[in-house]
């Protein structure tokens, strides 16, 4: 997956609480087995409203999504983070997230940042009033700030999640980090115990 170090850009102010995974990506699209191509269907029901914030040209290409509390609640579908990622979003900032959704985001390199509600309210209002205003999220220093320096906050993140995001390590990449150890174990194993795993030389 793509490494996450720093992201800078404007933010989409999705000022709604309890946005569930069915609202993020409707169930009829869960039959798709590809991980990409879900972006056009993200928030499909709401996007039928021309005034829905994601439809606003001012936020096109924004890499950051601001959201309300309990974002990503509902079913555990992995397609929800896939759809958001396919919109070009690299980070979601909210007061709280559903645990399974947050874990699924981490697995694909999508950063989730938790800030107090009052900070979210401030950033929401700023993004609504100044759509082109930019935020900077620095994962190494665990900070989020406005590009003009008028606002800056630190955020907490699980150390393992931080390591994986900075390195671009998904589950497969993490396994491959131990490739030499695995190969050494395979070479030393007792062929009498694992005869089917050894090819005759």
**What is the DSSP-derived secondary structure letter of residue 40?**
G
**pLDDT of res. 190:** 53
| pTM of the full structure | 0.86
β partners of residue 65? 12, 92
Grouped pLDDT means (10 residues each) for the chain, 201 residues = 95 98 92 83 96 97 98 92 96 98 96 98 98 97 96 97 92 58 59 54 45
- Class assignment of domain 6-190? alpha beta
β partners of residue 152? 145
- The domain spans of the chain are 6-190
β partners of residue 142? none
Main-chain dihedrals φ then ψ at residue 14, nearest 5 degrees = -90, 85
**pLDDT of res. 196:** 57
């Amino acid at each position: 997956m793509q490494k996450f170090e720093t992201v800078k850009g404007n933010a989409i102010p999705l000022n709604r609480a309890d946005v569930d995974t069915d609202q993020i990506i409707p169930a009829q699209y869960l039959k798709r087995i590809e991980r990409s191509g879900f972006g056009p269907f993200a928030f499909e029901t709401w996007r039928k409203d021309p005034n829905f914030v994601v439809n606003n040209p001012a936020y096109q290409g924004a890499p950051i999504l601001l959201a309300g509390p309990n974002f990503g609640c509902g079913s555990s579908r992995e397609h929800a983070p896939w759809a958001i990622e396919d919109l070009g979003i690299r980070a979601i900032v909210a007061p709280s997230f559903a645990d399974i959704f947050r874990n699924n985001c981490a697995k694909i390199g999508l950063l989730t940042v938790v800030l107090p509600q009052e900070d979210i309210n401030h950033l929401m209002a700023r993004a609504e009033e100044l759509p082109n205003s930019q935020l900077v999220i620095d994962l190494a220093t665990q900070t989020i700030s406005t590009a003009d320096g008028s606002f800056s906050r630190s955020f907490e993140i699980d150390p393992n999640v931080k390591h994986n995001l900075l390195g671009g390590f998904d589950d497969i990449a993490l396994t491959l980090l131990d490739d030499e150890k695995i190969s050494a174990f395979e070479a030393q194993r007792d062929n009498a115990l694992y005869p089917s795993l050894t090819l005759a030389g």
